[in-house]
């Protein structure tokens, strides 16, 4: 902590390195004031009295310094809100609710989920940015956010400037599906069809910059096909479009689309991981079925507004990791194709920066646009 008081070098020395328990704060303030007073008495005392104004300034500064710790001591004292900037029914919504349920039990406070979809996650994300940095309003985010750093450079926020990393949640592969009316029984035939009809086929996503959008753009670039992007407000809307035959193709989270494919409403032709999913062992990866080197996933995490106290962030990281380490949670997620991501705050920070760089390169190579 640095305190700026005119000729106040002794006040800085007095509190340097001072770490105290909450119950000792009053004594610590008194000791620091006495320490400053003793030195000031030898030089700046007139009429035998200490400069009272400086003592008051020091006391105020110390109280500010202790405020963050005081907040963490009682956090959380009221409900926590998880803002999901995506529509209901998608992976972010589904897994945020699991997280909220288990965190509520652990922190002894309600943790509620609020969906604020729109504009490729911009609307909900901006709402969190404008919230108080106190740990009570958090952002459930995904690689949509790291992609949008390069895809939407003029958005009202910058991820690493306006938010602080808290913890990742999980990741899962995507499932590439086509409507049953499409004249292709596998990925190879779909690529041939797309090349024979440049610009005539289309694919759905839940909005610009989403993992589904970028999976499609990466596929177009690597397969050298011309397929039109049709963005939707939410993943449920995009899903309904491909089910209804309004669009021909979609990349969707395997956690939500697998059941639809098994029900025959769409035809699954590939998965997007580096190896076949245990949930769909008979479906090849995009890489092995015709586009070597292709890989795309969706991951989820939590961030907080810039300025959220570090000890509050550390507590949230600990609580989130406790949830994703629960056997009941990991086992349930495994059945859905989701893999927990366990990281410290610093590790998640490094992961985000690396992912921003990765998708910036994909945006550049693919020529993806925010539309």
Tell me: pLDDT of 26 over 80.
no
3-state secondary structure 282-300: CCCEHHHHCCCCCCCEEEE
Report residue 367's pLDDT band, with 50, 70 and 90 as the boundaries: confident
**For range 113-133, the mean pLDDT:** 94
Cα separation, 143 vs 148, whole angstroms = 8
Domains of the chain: 9-74 (no CATH), 80-171+299-366 (3.40.190.150), 173-297 (3.40.190.10)
Query: Above 80 in pLDDT, residue 39?
Result: no
Pick the more confident residue, 275 or 365: 275
CA distances from 318 to 38, 306, 345 (A): 43, 19, 9
pLDDT tier at 112, thresholds 50, 70, 90: very high
| pLDDT of 49 | 41
Residue 371: the pLDDT is 65
State mean pLDDT over 227-245. 93
Share of the chain above pLDDT 90, in %: 69
- What is the band of 56 on the pLDDT scale with cuts at 50, 70, 90? low
pLDDT at position 9, please?
34
Write down how long the chain is. 371
Whole-number average pLDDT of the chain: 84
Lowest mean pLDDT among 7-21, 69-83, 121-135: 7-21
Share of the chain above pLDDT 70, in %: 80
Averaged pLDDT, 239-267 = 95
Give me the DSSP letters along 146-215.
Answer: HHHHHH-TTSS--HHHHEEEEEEEEEEEEEEEE-TTSS-SSHHHHHHHHHHSTTT-EEEESSTTSHHHHH
Which of 299, 282, 124, 156 has the alpha carbon at shortest distance from 214?
299
> Each residue of 206-220: pLDDT tens digit?
888 889 999 999 999
State the pLDDT at residue 135: 98
| Cα–Cα distance for residue pair 326/37, rounded to 1 Å | 54
C-alpha to C-alpha distance for 341 and 338, rounded to whole angstroms:
10
Q: Is 259:279 a contact under the CB 8 Å cutoff?
A: no
Which tens digits make up the pLDDT trace of 93-104? 999 999 999 999
pLDDT score recorded for residue 71: 55
**Where does the chain show beta strands of DSSP type E?**
80-84, 111-115, 137-142, 163-178, 202-205, 228-231, 249-253, 267-271, 297-305, 338-340
Q: What are phi and psi of 18, to 5 degrees?
A: -80, 120
pLDDT at 368: 82
Mean pLDDT of the region 362-368: 84
Least confident interval from 21-30, 117-126, 144-153, 235-244:
21-30
CA-to-CA dists, residue 259 to 255, 269, 313, angstroms: 8, 14, 36
- CA 18, 20, 22 angle in degrees (round to 5)? 145
Q: Which of 1-10, 86-95, 234-243, 244-253 has the lowest mean pLDDT?
A: 1-10
Mean pLDDT of 41-45: 41
For range 288-315, the mean pLDDT: 96
Q: Which has the minimum average pLDDT: 61-65, 242-246, 293-297, 352-356? A: 61-65
> 320-352: per-residue pLDDT in tens?
999 999 999 999 999 889 999 999 999 999 999
> What does the pLDDT read at residue 3?
35
| Rg, Å, the chain Cα set | 26
Q: Which pTM does this prediction carry?
A: 0.74
């Amino acid at each position: 902590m640095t305190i700026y008081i005119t000729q106040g070098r002794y006040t800085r020395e007095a509190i340097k390195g001072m770490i105290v328990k909450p119950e000792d704060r009053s004594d610590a303030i008194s000791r620091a004031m006495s320490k400053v007073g003793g030195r000031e008495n030898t030089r700046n005392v007139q009429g035998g009295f200490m400069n009272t104004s400086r003592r008051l300034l020091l006391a105020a500064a110390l109280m500010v310094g202790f405020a963050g710790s005081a907040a963490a001591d009682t956090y959380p004292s009221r409900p926590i809100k998880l803002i999901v900037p995506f529509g209901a029914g998608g992976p972010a919504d589904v897994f945020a609710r699991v997280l909220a349920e288990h965190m509520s039990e652990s922190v002894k406070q309600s943790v509620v989920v609020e969906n604020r979809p729109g504009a490729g996650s911009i609307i909900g994300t901006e709402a969190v940015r404008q919230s108080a940095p106190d740990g009570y309003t958090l952002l459930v985010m995904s690689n949509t956010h790291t992609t949008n750093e390069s895809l939407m450079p003029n958005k009202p926020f910058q991820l690493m400037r306006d938010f602080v990393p808290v913890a990742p949640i999980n990741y899962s592969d995507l499932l590439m599906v086509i409507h049953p009316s499409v004249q292709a029984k596998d990925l190879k035939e779909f690529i041939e069809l797309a090349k024979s009809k440049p610009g005539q086929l289309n694919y759905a996503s839940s909005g610009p910059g989403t993992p589904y959008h970028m999976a499609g753009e990466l596929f177009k670039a690597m397969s050298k096909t011309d397929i039109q992007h049709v963005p939707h407000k939410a993943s449920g809307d995009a899903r309904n479009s491909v089910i209804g035959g309004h669009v021909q193709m979609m990349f969707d989270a395997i956690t939500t689309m697998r059941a639809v494919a098994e029900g025959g409403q769409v035809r699954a032709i590939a998965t997007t991981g580096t190896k076949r999913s245990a949930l769909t062992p008979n479906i090849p990866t995009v890489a092995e079925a015709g586009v070597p080197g292709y890989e795309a996933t969706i991951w989820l995490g939590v961030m907080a507004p810039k300025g959220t106290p570090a000890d509050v962030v550390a507590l949230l990281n600990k609580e989130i990791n406790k949830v994703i380490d629960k056997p009941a949670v990991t086992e349930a997620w495994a059945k859905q194709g989701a893999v927990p991501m366990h990281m410290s705050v610093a590790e998640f920070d490094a992961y985000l920066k690396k992912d921003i760089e990765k998708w910036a390169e994909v945006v550049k190579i693919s020529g993806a646009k925010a539309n």
